[in-house]
Copies of this chain bind each other. A is one copy, B any other.
Amino acid sequence: MAIATIRKPYLVFLGNAADIAECKTGIGVKEWAEADCVGQWRNATHITLGLPDMGPDEAFSAGARSLLIGVSPVGGAIEQTWIPFLLTALEAGLDLVSGLHVRLEDTAVIAEAAKQHGRRLHNVRHADRSFEIATGRKRSGKRVIMVGTDCALGKKYTALAIARRLQERSVDATFRATGQTGIMIAGDGIAIDAVVADFVAGAAEALSPDASPHHWDVIEGQGALWHPAYAGVTLGLLHGSQPDALVLCHDPRRSVTNWYPDYPLPSVPDAIAGYLPLARRTNPAARFVGISLNTHGMNERDASAAAHALAPLGLPVCDPLRFGLDALLDELLTI
């Protein structure tokens, strides 16, 4: 089911990005949806994603249907210097896709040009539709959700890698995006943390609707149950997802919550023990099928030691970037 379907493929706009950190969105989309990127359009930057340079007319001729803003300056606003470029893109036949904090239509000339040319403006950080209250009704098909000991430690990456590997094994699988970059990669999804609180579990139900019995939805998680700001989002998403399987994402070097130094991370066993009864409320068969470690930046010996330390839990321990995911997928596919 399309939630907020975006017309692909993309021309990726990098504007005047000052450094590579501002281009995280573009990098993520290129990494996971390169076949959906016909080129990049740069104004005044030396940053490159390695895509062919082109303008909107050439991109449209090459099949592009949306300009994706692949640069996120600090503050999340639209820069004045971008506006003529965005207007040119609309004129050339492209919709606009933005993950910025501000909405595209809040810039009046953009709203007017989109209307005049009949283009759509996608603000993927916002949830611009209403949802129903969750029903709790069991849905057909299978679901696996990423949960974590914290935010920003690899849930999106792990979910994308699982979905890709399942497809490579000829398993019918769909990545279900719950955050802005994931939505840009997938072309649809729901920015779950932008949904009004009452409707979060209902939005999660809408995100992974009834499917054929052997189909897997691979659901990008959000937040963490121990996070002092976002735990409610995590729980609503978990309940509405009714997962058959959970994957715990963890960074072995992180001891406290990002940005919240007074909040220590739970241990991996405590995290599993905390998530499981809550997941079983809406799916009594829910179980963990593996642990995804983010060992980026660790040497091989330390990464292996971190994985071995978790062996007593009896779950496959993977790192999609380093050890692969096969043991975890083998476990998943026993369900």
Contact = CB atoms under 8 A, between A and B. Distances in A.
Interface of A: 133-137, 192-198, 200-202, 225-226, 228-237, 239-240, 260, 262-263, 274, 277-278, 281-282
B136 A229 contact: yes
Of A192, A226, A232, A282, chain B has the most CB atoms within 10 Å of the CB of A232
A35 to B, nearest CB: 32
B231 A233 contact: no
Oligomer copy total: 2
Given A262-B136, A277-B274, A232 B200 contact: yes
Contacts of A229: 133-136, 198, 201-202, 239
Nearest to A270: B277
A334 to B, nearest CB: 26
- Minimum-distance CB pairs A-B, first 10: A232-B236, A136-B228, A134-B229, A193-B198, A232-B232, A232-B235, A197-B233, A197-B197, A197-B200, A200-B232
Given A136-B260, A196-B195, A262-B136, A201 B226 contact: no
Of A194, A225, A236, chain B has the most CB atoms within 10 Å of the CB of A236
Contact of A236 (B134, B233, B278): B233
A225 B228 CA distance: 16
Contacts of A195: 196-197
